[in-house]
A and B are shown apart, each in its own frame.
Chain A
Amino acid sequence: MKRAPYPIEPDTSGKNYWRSVDEFEKSPSFAEDLTREFPEGAAEAPQGTSRRGFLAIMGASMALGGLAACRRPEEVIVPYTRAPEEIVPGRPLFFSTAMPILGTAIGLVVETHEGRPTKIEGNPRHPESLGATNSFVQASVLDLYDPDRSQSPQEKGEARTWDDASVFLRKLGDDAKKKNGKGLAVLVEDHRSPTVAAQLDALLKLMPEARVVRYEAFGRDVTEEAARIAFGKALVPVYDFGEADVVVSLDADFLLNEGSVVKNVRAFADRRNPDRKDKPMNRFYAIESSFSVSGTSADHRMRLQSHKIPALAYALAQEIAAAAKVELPADITSALGGAGALDPDATKLVKAIAADIAKRNGAALIVVGRKQPAAVHALFHAVHRAIGAVGKTVKLVRPFDEVKGGPAEIAALGKDLQAGTIDTLIVLGGNPAFNAPADVRDAITKAKTLVHVGTHVDETGKAAAWHLNRAHALESWGDVRSEDGTGAIVQPLIAPLYGGKTDAEILEIFLGGTRKGYDLVRASWRGAQSLVADFERDFRRALHDGLWKDSAFPAETADLDAAKVGAAIKAQKAVAPKGDLEVIFDPDPHTWDGRYANNGWLQEMPDPMAKLTWGNVASLSPKTARGLGVVDGDLVNVSANGATVTLPALVAPGLADGTILVTVGQGRSVVGRVGKNIGVDTGSLRTSAAFHVADGVSITKAGGSTKLSRTQEHFLTEGRPLVLEASFAKYQANPQVVPQPKKYLSLFEERNYDKGHAWGMTIDLAACVGCNACSIACQAENNIPIVGAEGVQKSREMHWMRMDRYFEGDLDNPTSVSQPMMCVHCENAPCEEVCPVAATTHSPEGLNEMTYNRCIGTKYCANNCPFKVRRFNYFDYTKDTIEQHKMQMNPDVTVRSRGVMEKCTYCVQRINRAKISAKAEGRERLRDGEVVTACQAACPAQAIHFGDLNDKQSEVAKRAAGPRGYKLLEELNVRPRTSYLAKIKNPNPELEGA
């Protein structure tokens, strides 16, 4: 224990220790005992050095000793006198928890080192995760340590204590109770917490005139609205892509940002496996306005402006009914009647899709995106029902709660706020002053008493009378239910770094209670009788497993209200679009709706298509751009709904002509250090009436241009055999779709790797959708720094794992593939030969290793790397790492200094950890699957496999030796250890050659 306790801020170090004791107190194994031992209030710092003070400091040392704080101890530190159970310094512990995301919740397993959560993995038991995650989840661990989070409650910008805040909240609650809640509104996020939902119910009971409104800038409101139309209640469709032989997407990016994406990718990718015997490869048609990540996986993709898709959808519904010989309800048929004429290509596609679906006996799924009107969503409820997909690919479950959400709701709230009928607004998470529709966002700040609960002082927090600092999901007790109802406990991995409280705790204070988060959660699940036999046992199990067993909602049946659906369709048809140009709004790939604006990993994560970082653009199709005479980076004025925004243009192949894609979430004005002056706020273009698609828009060249920060500049393969591709039909006829590997001669004597392990990796391009989860997982695992917009502009990004994007075919309407790329660990590594100081060498197991201590930075290795996967520390990127961020660092991975080269290590720290465990168990060899690299673990598509190539039974060896396995640049005879598996597409023969 010679290391200093972790110093967060030197001047307030005493206070920090108290937080740390708190952490210790709340660590799962000790939480209960300790709370009992030290009753409430006893944990306050006594003055002077008392016995309790001594114990406290000792506790702090225990909890924080051994952290990577390379400083001389400033205070007396004491080693463990009795080791806490389970804690072995140097060995991580894993705790299960969960996190709400994208209108659902995902189960997680979090790696902690000596009390610091450092890495998030998916929980394999949780149906929303199955072990995988996405980039936002991966990056949220960085948000936890964000030094720009608010550090205390604030009253009009002045720091206050939680005591002050509690006094205020209680009084606010008491006043509201007296008025029966009149004039009070609570604005919630898609929080998914049954505890919070129960408290909101309690609030409404106590204050019946209060209003609870849900708002998400990119939520599932259209789906909800459609269900209300079709079924009269907000039933939630839960899709099972694993059962769908045919998938049709109508403007839905269900693999990246709509619905339960992690689950979707997993199930979808499972059906893209051409080697699967039980279920054949699926076929995927995408009709969409922007080129989405889902669209890149499509076998057939048609680009069509969002406002034109309903017409195609109506025709499709009719064709499906006709082809499958099923009847749609009469009201719907009549409403559809006379669907507008489609152009020949669309007609052909629609007919082919319908014929394809008709053959599948209900094993089909038509996913409608949020940019489509509710009528289209409702229509496909009817279609799913008619073709027998309900129960097969679609399950309807009851909604999580009855709170209404959506642009209309918040617009109504905005009106009331303007009118003054609502004077008290509690914003429970979220940042409506930034991302609410343009017609509402000013109204939010009009509330007489605005209370903002959030992790950061953002636009809303700044305007609020009171800002209450919220605990991050990784530091709070809570609970969540995912889309299908599966419940999970959110358990803290660390005591709140800045003393934040959870939504539930804040509501508790507001309602006059005193319970803490832990008690609230327990109380709320104690009530869930159906799940609980022995509460203590079951609660512990739920904590351990990360979910409540069998807690998913049962499937519901509901009658379809055909008349209402028909009416909705008619109403939709009656609306004529203004003009041919449209603006479509997507969540920003970096910040979602602005919430991750201060997250450097996400800001620097290249978006999946354009590879843009640090900013946002107006994407235009090549033809639209030509018409305007703009090229990448030229500034354009986009006007919609009476507002004009100037932002750089980006020419996006595959976008529908006449569609302008604008992302919302950049250009935050009140934000931390990372997000400052990044991007343009486009929120003013978006109104509650034109929430996802705006018509009657215009775009003009503004003059001037900016440099875009993109990580890739060239998107063509130049005919090089990098991504090999074949059709499913061809593959079935002859699986050897890639050239047979050749044996090349070597000048040097070749090293023999037959003995021991031979680590290798396979990446299945048929499965990979290009979602970037791996890339951020790698960043989190390997302490990879960010380089900022300027660094990206100079092509100096440090990502060990990058996602290459290539377009093929017609510039206007291309197809596209993505290819994950990182060090392929060549057996004849060209980098090793040329390093003058032998800093990069080969391990006996075939790893191409970097010895950072030895590297002097000649960069010759990187020049000689044909894959260009080596990354150089041009500056001391980690020098200014903020203390809090250091807590995120993985202690098993060296933090690299300036002037050294680095690159993918195949997660050598994980290999070594597994080896140590195996050795402890007396085994010489590791078992297949014992080492899981960070990228592999995160990949929702299970495209990445890692293991021992010498073990012929291992998954990776079988895959690498399979007919689809090929190595990049094989003719160089560098012998990569990473193999790619050829991409297989499954085009419809009827549309071939079309």
Chain B
Amino acid sequence: MTTAALQEDTPGKRAPLVLGHRDFNAVTETVAGIVEKKTTPSWLVLLGLAVSVLLILLGSLGKLAAEGLGIWGLNNTVFWAWDITGFVFWIGIGHAGTLISAILFLFRQKWRTSINRAAEAMTIFAVMSAAIYPVFHVGRVWFAYWLFPIPNQMSMWPNFKSPLLWDVFAISTYATVSILFWYVGLVPDLATLRDRATTKVRSIVLGIFSLGWRGSHRNWLNYEKTYLILAGLSTPLVLSVHTIVSFDFAVSIMPGWHTTIFPPYFVAGAIFSGFAMVVSLMVLARKAYGLEGLITIKHLENMNKIILLTGTMVGYAYAIEYFIAWYGGNEYERFAFINRAFGPYKWAYWTMWSCNVFSPQLFWFKRIRTSIPAMFVISIFVNIGMWFERFVIIVTSLHRDYIPSSWTYFRPSLFDISTFLGSFGLFFTLFLLFLRFLPAVAISEVKGVMPQADPHAGHGDDHGHDAHDDHHEEASAKSDESEDESEDEGDEGDEASEGDAEKDEEESRG
């Protein structure tokens, strides 16, 4: 199939976004099947693992809340380390989801459809993992809510000059919009699941969440508008969230932090790491759930191209930082950058370079960017590298700042590690639950990009593509989930099995 995809990826002719000669029903069956099938033992094992790791997180946070930040390795010079590194890491990962769902949507990049649902879910779970840190890295976690501008008896407002406060707004807005966007996108698919529900409870629960979706034109019209508006709202957030996160550093006066390049650099890094995470997860999920036909090599390759692009941008940022450190003539900044590359944390710095700049360059080679094992390894490298990038920025800048007498070397404690590790537990627990209980691929959207959905598509080459659904708008093509709607075909399949499927379908319709 890989080769098939490659062969079809010829200039002037777009590769199909859905492979495997599926029809609309096949798509529904594939995706909804995951949700409706019996729980597989392998999923249970994975969930058990993830929950165990999640318990590590809960234990670590419990101890943290009970005893204080001293259980981490922080000291009088490095007041932020793994906590904020973890925060920026997770926020960054979230970016791919929003980028895929919002920006690529606005640009009508149809290849996004099979990955956007999972990417959005990933965004939300990543933001949730990230949110652990701003809450729990404060000394008095029971007062963390003071970060919000809640009217209070002290008549105290937060300090609107502080980038941490901007963070609060940026992250909470981002989380809200991401959840809304994700949920709105889910509604038609939830309706599909509702209609396929075999138990009362299931049908009621899904009925509530599908908001009375009937698949009517009005429904579709409202849906499309809402989706577009939310995409419009999300798009600036892709840029703003990490810009504001970067302000945490850029607005400070620490050499190594106080850099105007941070906003674009952070956004590029965020997209970079987000895409890497999507690749890592999709490679696994498509294999596990047999979604190879929906999440094709083409998708992965496209994402790898973005990884290559953003990785190069990040590399450029690393280089330009050095130029500015030299050109700016600030001795403290100059020292900070020399110290990064050759100081006590040089191992972290060169890990960052190797993972973030050198490894994605391999994606120039088509063989590598279309090779599943290679891209998986590289995407993991990128994730590691991006964690190190934040670590390098935060810790190497702090540990040797202005006054040499305060210089220290930060060492993580067991609880730094367990908290970060545990955040993966949270992420994967949620992600596994998502895979199991919600449609991991946007059924309606995928159908919309299938050739069958395009009335003008395939003049000549899609031999079996009849015009009998020409009256369907693209939108209505998606509405197959309401079983009464006549959706059909996928008749490009000329194999026997495909024909059987068709027959079955006819029967069922009949």
Q: Could you tell me the distance in whole angstroms from the C-beta of A912 to the nearest C-beta in chain B?
A: 21
A863 to B138, CA, bound (A): 13
Q: Are B139 and A830 in contact (CB under 8 A)?
A: no
A899 to B80, CA, bound (A): 14
Does B162 interact with chain A (Cβ within 8 Å)?
A: yes
Does A180 interact with chain B (Cβ within 8 Å)?
A: no
Does B45 interact with chain A (Cβ within 8 Å)?
A: no
Q: Are B76 and A868 in contact (CB under 8 A)?
A: yes
B157 to chain A: which residues have CB within 8 Å? 838
B365 to chain A: which residues have CB within 8 Å? none
Cβ-neighbour of B398 out of A863, A873, A972 (below 8 A): A863
Q: Are A856 and B402 in contact (CB under 8 A)?
A: no
Q: Are B79 and A797 in contact (CB under 8 A)?
A: no
* Known A835-B162, A873-B139: A863·B402 in contact at CB below 8 Å: no
B316 to chain A: which residues have CB within 8 Å? none
Q: Are A856 and B140 in contact (CB under 8 A)?
A: yes
A385 to B254, CA, bound (A): 59
Q: Are B252 and A722 in contact (CB under 8 A)?
A: no
Q: Are B403 and A868 in contact (CB under 8 A)?
A: yes
A873 to B68, CA, bound (A): 8
A837 to B403, CA, bound (A): 27
Contact-residue size bin, chain A (C-beta under 8 Å from the other chain): 35 or more
Q: Are A837 and B405 in contact (CB under 8 A)?
A: no
Q: Are B138 and A857 in contact (CB under 8 A)?
A: yes
User: In this complex, which of A791, A806, A856, A974 has the most chain B Cβ atoms within 10 angstroms of its Cβ?
Assistant: A856
Residue of A nearest to B330 (CB): A971
Q: Are B68 and A899 in contact (CB under 8 A)?
A: yes
* Known A856-B143, A857-B69, A872-B139: A864·B404 in contact at CB below 8 Å: no
Q: Are B163 and A834 in contact (CB under 8 A)?
A: yes
Q: Could you tell me the distance in whole angstroms from the C-beta of B307 to the nearest C-beta in chain A?
A: 31
A804 to B403, CA, bound (A): 9
A806 to B403, CA, bound (A): 11
Q: Are B405 and A836 in contact (CB under 8 A)?
A: no
Q: Are B405 and A806 in contact (CB under 8 A)?
A: yes
A637 to B6, CA, bound (A): 72
Name A851-867 residues within 8 Å CB distance of B.
854-860, 862-864, 866-867
* Known A716-B404, A898-B139: A795·B75 in contact at CB below 8 Å: yes
B143 to chain A: which residues have CB within 8 Å? 856
Q: Could you tell me the distance in whole angstroms from the C-beta of A173 to the nearest C-beta in chain B?
A: 54
A712 to B331, CA, bound (A): 22
Q: Are B77 and A834 in contact (CB under 8 A)?
A: no
Q: Could you tell me the distance in whole angstroms from the C-beta of A775 to the nearest C-beta in chain B?
A: 13
Q: Could you tell me the distance in whole angstroms from the C-beta of A828 to the nearest C-beta in chain B?
A: 10
Q: Are B253 and A830 in contact (CB under 8 A)?
A: yes
A38 to B165, CA, bound (A): 66
Contact-residue size bin, chain B (C-beta under 8 Å from the other chain): 35 or more
Does A101 interact with chain B (Cβ within 8 Å)?
A: no
- Count A/B pairs, Cβ under 8 Å: 166
Does A718 interact with chain B (Cβ within 8 Å)?
A: yes
A466 to B491, CA, bound (A): 106
User: In this complex, which of A806, A834, A974 has the most chain B Cβ atoms within 10 angstroms of its Cβ?
Assistant: A834
B164 to chain A: which residues have CB within 8 Å? 834-836, 858, 860
A413 to B407, CA, bound (A): 51
Does A821 interact with chain B (Cβ within 8 Å)?
A: yes
Against A, the Cβ 8 Å flags (1 = close, 0 = not) of B236-259 are 000000000000100111100000
* Known A804-B403, A856-B140, A873-B139: A836·B168 in contact at CB below 8 Å: yes
Q: Are B69 and A899 in contact (CB under 8 A)?
A: yes
Does B70 interact with chain A (Cβ within 8 Å)?
A: yes
Q: Are A836 and B404 in contact (CB under 8 A)?
A: no
Does B48 interact with chain A (Cβ within 8 Å)?
A: no
* Known A720-B402, A821-B405, A835-B159: A872·B147 in contact at CB below 8 Å: no
Q: Are B162 and A900 in contact (CB under 8 A)?
A: no
* Known A834-B252, A854-B156: A794·B402 in contact at CB below 8 Å: no
A266 to B254, CA, bound (A): 39
Q: Could you tell me the distance in whole angstroms from the C-beta of A318 to the nearest C-beta in chain B?
A: 43
Q: Could you tell me the distance in whole angstroms from the C-beta of B397 to the nearest C-beta in chain A?
A: 9
Cβ-neighbour of B140 out of A716, A855, A871, A968 (below 8 A): A855
Residue of A nearest to B70 (CB): A874
Q: Could you tell me the distance in whole angstroms from the C-beta of A497 to the nearest C-beta in chain B?
A: 31
Does B67 interact with chain A (Cβ within 8 Å)?
A: yes
Q: Could you tell me the distance in whole angstroms from the C-beta of B478 to the nearest C-beta in chain A?
A: 44
Does B324 interact with chain A (Cβ within 8 Å)?
A: no
A863 to B163, CA, bound (A): 13
Name B89-144 residues within 8 Å CB distance of A.
137-141, 143-144
Residue of B nearest to A901 (CB): B139
Q: Are A866 and B403 in contact (CB under 8 A)?
A: yes
Taking chain B's interface residues, is the majority helix, strand, or loop, or is none over half, making it mixed?
A: loop
Residue of A nearest to B166 (CB): A836
B332 to chain A: which residues have CB within 8 Å? 720
B254 to chain A: which residues have CB within 8 Å? 863-864, 866
A830 to B332, CA, bound (A): 17
A855 to chain B: which residues have CB within 8 Å? 139-140
Q: Are B139 and A856 in contact (CB under 8 A)?
A: yes
Q: Could you tell me the distance in whole angstroms from the C-beta of B155 to the nearest C-beta in chain A?
A: 11
A717 to B320, CA, bound (A): 28
A802 to chain B: which residues have CB within 8 Å? 405
* Known A796-B75, A859-B80, A864-B254: A837·B159 in contact at CB below 8 Å: yes
Q: Could you tell me the distance in whole angstroms from the C-beta of A269 to the nearest C-beta in chain B?
A: 22
Does A9 interact with chain B (Cβ within 8 Å)?
A: no
B331 to chain A: which residues have CB within 8 Å? 720
Does B74 interact with chain A (Cβ within 8 Å)?
A: yes
A714 to chain B: which residues have CB within 8 Å? 400, 404-405, 407
Does B161 interact with chain A (Cβ within 8 Å)?
A: yes
User: In this complex, which of B70, B77, B253, B403 has the most chain A Cβ atoms within 10 angstroms of its Cβ?
Assistant: B403
A822 to B406, CA, bound (A): 12
Q: Are A837 and B158 in contact (CB under 8 A)?
A: yes
Q: Are A720 and B404 in contact (CB under 8 A)?
A: yes
Cβ-neighbour of B253 out of A717, A864, A898 (below 8 A): A864
Does A536 interact with chain B (Cβ within 8 Å)?
A: no
Cβ-neighbour of A899 out of B139, B159, B409 (below 8 A): B139
B74 to chain A: which residues have CB within 8 Å? 859, 872, 874
Q: Are B68 and A874 in contact (CB under 8 A)?
A: yes
A834 to B164, CA, bound (A): 7
Does A519 interact with chain B (Cβ within 8 Å)?
A: no
Against A, the Cβ 8 Å flags (1 = close, 0 = not) of B262-279 are 000000000000000000
Q: Could you tell me the distance in whole angstroms from the C-beta of B291 to the nearest C-beta in chain A?
A: 42
A860 to B335, CA, bound (A): 22
Q: Could you tell me the distance in whole angstroms from the C-beta of B108 to the nearest C-beta in chain A?
A: 40
B253 to chain A: which residues have CB within 8 Å? 830, 864, 866, 972, 974
Does A370 interact with chain B (Cβ within 8 Å)?
A: no
Name A898-922 residues within 8 Å CB distance of B.
898-901
Does A805 interact with chain B (Cβ within 8 Å)?
A: yes
Q: Could you tell me the distance in whole angstroms from the C-beta of A788 to the nearest C-beta in chain B?
A: 11
Does A875 interact with chain B (Cβ within 8 Å)?
A: yes
* Known A718-B404, A863-B398, A898-B68: A797·B147 in contact at CB below 8 Å: no
Q: Could you tell me the distance in whole angstroms from the C-beta of B448 to the nearest C-beta in chain A?
A: 44
Q: Could you tell me the distance in whole angstroms from the C-beta of B61 to the nearest C-beta in chain A?
A: 14
A sample of 20 inter-chain contacts (CB < 8 A) reads A712-B406, A713-B409, A715-B404, A720-B402, A821-B403, A834-B163, A835-B162, A837-B147, A837-B159, A838-B157, A838-B159, A854-B156, A857-B139, A859-B80, A864-B254, A868-B406, A872-B76, A874-B74, A876-B68, A899-B138
- A interface vs B, CB < 8 Å? 712-718, 720, 722, 791, 794-797, 802, 804-806, 819, 821, 830, 832-838, 854-860, 862-864, 866-868, 870-876, 897-901, 968-969, 972, 974
**Nearest 8 interchain pairs by C-beta:** A857-B139, A899-B139, A874-B70, A795-B75, A804-B405, A859-B79, A868-B406, A836-B164
- B interface vs A, CB < 8 Å? 67-70, 73-77, 79-80, 137-141, 143-144, 146-147, 154, 156-159, 161-165, 168, 248, 251-254, 331-332, 335, 398, 400-409
Known: A712-B406, A716-B404, A854-B146. 4 other contacts (CB 8 A): A796-B76, A860-B162, A874-B139, A972-B253
